[in-house]
Amino acid sequence: MKKYNNTLIIVLNWNHSSRTVEFIQNLRSVEKNCDILVIDNGSTVSEKEIIQDYITKLGGAIFCESDITIENTNIINDVFLLLLSKNYGYAKGNNFGLKLSNHLGYSYSLICNNDVLFKSSLINSLEEIMDSRLDVAALGPKVVGLDNKLQGPYSKQYYLFLSIVQLLYPIFLLPWKLIIIFRNFYYSLPRDRIHLVYRLMGCCMMLRNNALEKVDYFDENTFLYCEEMILAEKFKSFYLLTAYTNKIVVVHMHGLSTRDFDNQERLKIFLKSLSYYLVTYRGYSKISLFIIKQMYYVMNNFWLPISRKFKTLFINILRGF
């Protein structure tokens, strides 16, 4: 068994192999010595060939799901590729890598989307914080979009109250924007070490492997969305913490990883995962779920389209002056 580093970087690939190649190139330009596991989540044959060719050029090892088991794996490369037989989604797909990482003796796993850009080295800084706080199971860097707007972290949300906000969106619009501005300001304040938060952005977070084993890794009952909230609840049940540092920054091209689904399909997948999370981990009733779902449909199919039209109209008016 080979392990030179304390952290294994895990990235899922599904039909965006060129993007994954760019991710690895960017990562290796800022992290001179790192171990990377690419998990292909059932991509098409042509997409698999792209990532296989690239990993081969790097001298990496390639394994198929059918011929790899946690018990007998012995990795001797710092870059390797695991080919899964189908798209298992975020939770189960990443669990293949997390369990392998733990088996290989890594202390930490850094989960990343392939649409993340690294501005500078971050692994040593994240490891230093994790080493100093053994009660922290998950740690995330500051995540900003291409527009430099903050993405996460998040406090615990109360979805029945959120339903009222969605129903009366025009009334709550200004207060909601002010809350977001305050949140962004608060999480940008300098701290010696960390902020304790409810949950992180799943696009980039460092996880403690022995804590993951304790909570039985990601819950595989979701395909996409809500994984970070579920993991936060699982950690909390073992008195383990989730934390955030704003001293390390990554850029997330939010949406690239889910753009293959149209808006209605994304909403359907999201609500299925949200329902599972709320019932299983938050104890919400069926009546509460019904109300919450209807308000999400109102928000996405009524208020947001109207809001976009007014925004476009306002921009056009300004351009006319």
DSSP 302: I
**Residues facing residue 241 across a β-bridge:** 136
Question: If you count them, how many residues does the chain have?
Answer: 321
pLDDT: is 8 or 170 the higher one?
A: 8
Please write down the long-range contacts of 155-161, taking CB distance under 8 Å and 24 or more positions apart: 155/197, 155/198, 156/198, 156/199, 159/274, 159/278, 159/284, 159/288, 159/292, 160/288, 160/291, 160/292
Q: For the CA atoms of 162, 221, 91, 97, what is the dihedral angle to 10 degrees?
A: 160
Q: % helix / strand / coil in the chain, to the nearest 5? A: 50, 20, 30
14 confidence band (pLDDT: 50, 70, 90): very high
Q: What is the mean pLDDT of residues 139-152?
A: 92
152 confidence band (pLDDT: 50, 70, 90): confident
Can you tell me the distance from the alpha carbon of 120 to that of 97, in angstroms, rounded to the nearest whole number? 24
Q: What is the mean pLDDT of residues 4-9?
A: 90
Q: What is the mean pLDDT of residues 159-169?
A: 86
Q: What is the pLDDT, as a whole number, of residue 1?
A: 44
Can you tell me the distance from the alpha carbon of 35 to that of 10, in angstroms, rounded to the nearest whole number? 9
Q: What is the mean pLDDT of residues 83-103?
A: 95
Q: Give the tens place of pLDDT for each residue, 96-143.
A: 999 999 999 999 999 999 999 999 999 999 999 999 999 999 999 999
What are the structural domains, with CATH classification, of the chain? 7-320 (3.90.550.10)
Q: What is the mean pLDDT of residues 65-93?
A: 80
Amino acid at 7: T
Q: pTM for the whole thing?
A: 0.89
Least confident interval from 21-30, 199-208, 259-268, 294-303 = 259-268
Q: Give the tens place of pLDDT for each residue, 197-216.
A: 999 999 999 999 999 999 99
